[in-house]
Amino acid sequence: MKNSHSESYAAAGVDVTAGYEAVKRIKPMVESTYIPGVMGTLGGFGGMFAPDMAGMKKPVLVSGTDGVGTKLKLAFLMDRHDTVGIDCVAMCVNDIVCGGAAPLFFLDYIACGKNDPGRIADIVSGITEGCRQAGCALVGGETAEMPGFYPVDEYDLAGFSVGMVDEEKIIDGKRLSQGDVLIGLPSTGVHSNGFSLVRKVFDVEHCDLKSPLDELGGKSLGDTLLTPTRIYVKAIQAVLKAGVDIKAVSHITGGGFYENVPRMMTEGLTARIELGSFPRLPIFDLIQKQGGIPERDMYNTFNMGLGMIFAVPASEAARAIDALKAAGETAYQVGSVVSGDAGVELV
């Protein structure tokens, strides 16, 4: 690449040498995520991974893809780009773990108006941190410089992950039964959903994002909203390693409780969730008050303090919570599975 430079392309707004500088900066971060199975290194045309399938009767690949959405607008306004990569990884691997799979590797896609190597390095630092939290490898990605399509100081971020699970250990909700217990794992905040509403409520382009607020425990609105999405891979794995029978899992993303919880239920069964069984984070009270948002709309848009819910037999609920506590995780018994076709009931 020493001889790669195009004056004509640079005049059109694309500096290929900036891309090479970005790769140079991110390479050590990418390699810090490598786990057994990674083949080659950054710079090839395709990321290679050789999975260890020892002990599996019928390995099944589970994939997930997602982006960060308009939460990126907050990153632009705050000029802080080192956390949104965690969101990107989280939105993919949290979906994968719902099926019982362990994520193996991740690839990112960054599209920008101008390739700023320092900013790209900040973004990738978050991606690599997310990969380390999820226990997967960042095996490749793409940075696309698109002048005239994106403003020079903006970008979009998306990703893709692949995991693996033995077919007989897939979590699909088919064995759910009345009386199963629902366990909730707390969120860190708004995560990466509902930001179109959040941005409208606070008029973020014109409000004070950086001053401390008493309602948020002294944190600023901007810092609170940029808090990265929690990654639940290791928490679910801790429960599975303890031998607990997880029957169904729901990642509480866009659409909140009313859209996501029914996705883990089977016909004739409903998740009854007790609203007082877990702490509701202050940011949601502030959003509701500022926007005059009805209670049901809040639970149909946001996670409200629970980022993941899973179902276990009642006889194994205490063991599941103990396994999570031993792993340094907080968990709440938030309800149960009952007869009915509502999908979810909040009581």
Q: Does residue 262 share a domain with residue 307?
A: yes
Q: Do 185 and 292 lie in a common domain?
A: yes
Claim to verify: residue 33 and residue 154 sit in the same structural domain: yes
pLDDT in the model for residue 46: 83
The rounded distance, in Å, linking the Cα atoms of 218 and 196 is: 24
CATH number at residue 35: 3.30.1330.10
Domain check: are 209 and 316 in the same one? Answer: yes
Contacts 24+ apart (CB under 8 A), 212-221: 213/286, 215/282, 215/285, 215/286, 216/282, 216/283, 216/286, 217/282, 221/286
On whether both 197 and 324 belong to a single domain, the answer is yes
Q: Are residues 229 and 121 in the same domain?
A: no
Q: Which of 320, 343, 339, 340 is nearest to 330 (CA)?
A: 320
**Rounded to an integer, what distance in angstroms lies between the CA atom of residue 169 and that of residue 244?**
12
Q: Is the pLDDT reported for residue 320 higher than 90?
A: yes
**Per-residue pLDDT for 48 more than 80?**
yes
Mean pLDDT across the chain: 93
pLDDT of residue 47: 86
Residue 175 inside a domain? The answer is no
Do 239 and 339 have their domain in common?
yes
Beta bridge partners of 60: 165
In a domain, 2, yes or no: no
Give the pLDDT mean for 147-172.
96
**Confidence at 2, pLDDT banded by 50, 70, 90:** low
Residue 292, pLDDT above cutoff 60: yes
- What's the confidence (pLDDT) of residue 199? 97
Residue 8 vs residue 87, higher pLDDT:
87
With H, G, I as helix, E, B as strand and everything else as coil, classify residue 52: coil
- Final residue before a domain boundary, out of 143, 169, 195: 169
pLDDT tens, position by position, 138-156: 999 999 999 999 999 999 9
pLDDT at 28: 83
Per-residue model confidence (pLDDT) at position 327 = 94
Q: How deeply is 268 buried, as exposed, middle or buried, from its count of CB atoms within 10 A (0-12, 13-18, 19+)?
A: exposed
Per the structure, how many domains does the chain have?
Answer: 2
The terminus-to-terminus CA distance of the chain in angstroms comes to 62
Contact, 250 vs 99, CB < 8 A? no
3-state secondary structure (DSSP) of residue 140: strand
73-122: pLDDT as tens digits: 999 999 999 999 999 999 999 999 999 999 999 999 999 999 999 999 99
Rounded to whole angstroms, what are the CA distances from 62 to 47, 52, 98, 162, 309? 17, 15, 10, 6, 19
Structure tokens at 34: 């490598």
| Cα angle, residue 332 at apex, residues 304 and 230 outer, rounded to 5° | 55
**pLDDT tops 60 at residue 1:** no
Measured in whole angstroms, how far is the alpha carbon of residue 235 from the centre of its chain?
14
Q: How far apart are CA 88 and CA 156, in angstroms?
A: 11
Which pLDDT band, with edges at 50, 70 and 90, does 26 fall under? confident
Length of the chain: 347
Please check the confidence at residue 30 and state whether its pLDDT lies above 90. no
Residue 219 has pLDDT above 60, yes or no: yes
Q: Taking the complete model, does pTM exceed 0.85, yes or no?
A: yes
Split at pLDDT 50, 70, 90, the class of 175 is: very high
**Residue-number span of the structural domain to which 229 is assigned:** 181-346
Domain boundary among the residues 141, 169, 197 is at 169
Q: Tokens at residue 230, please?
A: 């929690």
- Does 55 score more than 60 pLDDT? yes
Specify if 1 maps to a domain. Answer: no
Q: Which helix (H) or strand (E) holds 347?
A: none
